[in-house]
Amino acid sequence: MMSSGQADREAQTRPNILLVMADQLTAIALSVYGNRVCKTPNIDALAKRSAVFANAYCSYPLCAPSRFALMTGRLPSRIKAYDNASEFPAAVPTIAHYLRGAGYYTCISGKMHFVGPDQHHGYEDRLTTEIYPADFSWVPPETYEEQESGDSQPDEVPLGVSSVETIADAGPLARSQQIDYDDEVAQRAIQHIYDWKRYSDGRPLFMTVSFTQPHDPYVTTRKYWDLHPNETIDEPITPRIPLEEMDTHSHALYFHYGLNKFDVDDETYRRARRGYYGMISYIDEKLGQLLQTLEDAGCADNTVVIFTSDHGDMIGERGLWFKKNLFEPSLRVPMIIHDPRHARPSRIEAPVSLIDLLPTLVELSGQSMDALVTEIEGGSLVGLMSEDQPDRTIFAEHIDGATVAPRVMVRRGRYKFVYSEAYPAQLYDLQDDPGEQVNLSDSPEHSEIARIMLQLVERQWDLTALKADVVKSQKSRQFINAAMQQGREVVWEHYPNPVRDHTKFVRNGDRFPEVERRSYLPYSDY
Mean pLDDT throughout 26-54? 98
For 199, other C-beta atoms within 10 Å of its C-beta total: 13
- Position 498 scores a pLDDT of 62
- Residues 6 or more apart whose CB falls under 8 angstroms from that of 241 comprise 250, 318, 319
Question: How confident is the model over 387-399, as a mean pLDDT?
Answer: 97
Question: What residue ranges in 29-137 does DSSP mark as E strands?
Answer: 51-57, 105-110, 125-126
**Could you tell me which residue, 428 or 165, shows the higher pLDDT?**
428
Q: What is the C-alpha to C-alpha distance for residues 495 and 43, in angstroms, rounded to an integer?
A: 31
Q: Which of 158-167, 262-271, 332-341 has the lowest mean pLDDT?
A: 158-167
Burial (CB count <10 Å: 0-12, 13-18, 19+), residue 362: buried
Burial grade of 481 (CB within 10 A; 0-12, 13-18, 19 or more) = middle
Mean pLDDT of the chain: 92
Within 13 Å, how many C-alpha atoms sit on residue 407's CB side? 23
Domain ranges of the chain: 4-136+162-390
User: Residue 451, Cβ neighbours under 10 Å: how many?
Assistant: 9
Is 421 within 8 Å of 405 (Cβ atoms)? yes
Tell me what the mean pLDDT of segment 86-99 comes to: 98
Taking a C-beta distance cutoff of 8 angstroms, is the pair 296, 9 a contact? no
Catalytic residue among 38, 58, 107, 113: 113
Judge contact between 80 and 96, C-beta under 8 A: no
Position with higher pLDDT, 344 vs 469: 469
Pairing of strands 105-110, 205-210: parallel
What pLDDT is stored for residue 13 in this prediction?
75
- In this prediction, what percent of the chain has a pLDDT beyond 90? 83
Which tops the pLDDT comparison, 524 or 315? 315
Rounded to the nearest angstrom, the gap between the alpha carbon of residue 504 and the centroid of all alpha carbons in its chain is 34
**Cβ distance 167 to 268 under 8 Å?**
yes
Flag whether pLDDT at 380 surpasses 50. Answer: yes
Catalytic site includes residue 113: yes
- pLDDT category, 153, cuts 50, 70, 90? very low
Task: State yes or no: pLDDT of 286 exceeds 60.
Answer: yes
Rounded to whole angstroms, the maximal C-alpha distance in the chain is 84
Residue 342 or 381, more confident: 381
When mean pLDDT is compared across 333-337, 477-481, 511-515, the lowest value belongs to 511-515
Tell whether the model's pLDDT for residue 7 goes beyond 80: no
Residue 211 to residue 223: CA distance in whole angstroms = 18
Cβ neighbours of 453 (radius 10 Å): 24
CA 374 to each of CA 52, 122, 353, 359, 492: distance values in angstroms, whole numbers, following the listed order: 28, 16, 18, 12, 26
Q: What percent of the chain has pLDDT over 70?
A: 93
pLDDT of residue 510: 72
DSSP symbols for 453-498 = HHHHHHHH--HHHHHHHHHHHHHHHHHHHHHHTSSS-------PPP
Q: Are 78 and 408 spatial neighbours (Cβ–Cβ below 8 Å)?
A: no
147-156, 165-174, 180-189, 296-305, range with the lowest pLDDT? 147-156
Q: What is the mean pLDDT of residues 339-347?
A: 88
Give the class (CATH, top level) of 4-136+162-390.
alpha beta
Residue from 484, 496, 399 nearest 135 by CA: 484
Give SS3 for 210.
strand
Tens-place pLDDT, residues 403-445: 999 999 999 999 999 999 999 999 999 999 999 999 999 999 9
Distance CA 179, CA 177 (A): 6
Distance CA 470, CA 472 (A): 5
The sign one gets for the Cα dihedral 245, 250, 255, 260 is: negative
Q: Which position among 58, 63, 107, 299 bears the catalytic label?
A: 63
**Gap between the Cα atoms of 210 and 220, Å rounded:** 18
pLDDT beyond 70 at 174: yes
pLDDT bracket for residue 506 (50, 70, 90): low
pLDDT for residue 502 is more than 50: no
More confident site: 183 or 511: 183
The single-letter code of the amino acid at 38 is C
- Binning the chain into helix, strand and coil, the percentages to the nearest 5 are 40, 15, 45
Q: Give the CA-trace dihedral at 21, 258, 428, 461, to 10 degrees.
A: 70
More confident residue, 351 or 498: 351
Confidence tier at 2 by pLDDT (50, 70, 90): very low
Residue 150 has pLDDT above 60, yes or no: no
Sorted by sequence, the CB contacts under 8 Å of residue 399 that are 6+ apart come out as 60, 65, 76, 77, 82, 83, 406, 407, 466, 470
152 pLDDT exceeds 60?
Answer: no
Whether pLDDT at 250 is above 60: yes
Say what the pLDDT of residue 525 is. Answer: 77
**How many Cα atoms sit within 13 Å of 38 on the Cβ side?**
32
Identify whether 299 is a catalytic site residue: no
Residue 208 has pLDDT above 70, yes or no: yes
**246 compared with 402, residue with greater pLDDT:** 246
Give me the pLDDT at residue 149, please.
Answer: 60
CA distance 31 to 45: 11
**In whole angstroms, how large is the CA radius of gyration of the chain?**
23
Report which of residues 458 and 154 the model is more confident about.
458
Q: State mean pLDDT over 368-372.
A: 95
> What integer pLDDT is reported at residue 497 of this predicted model?
74
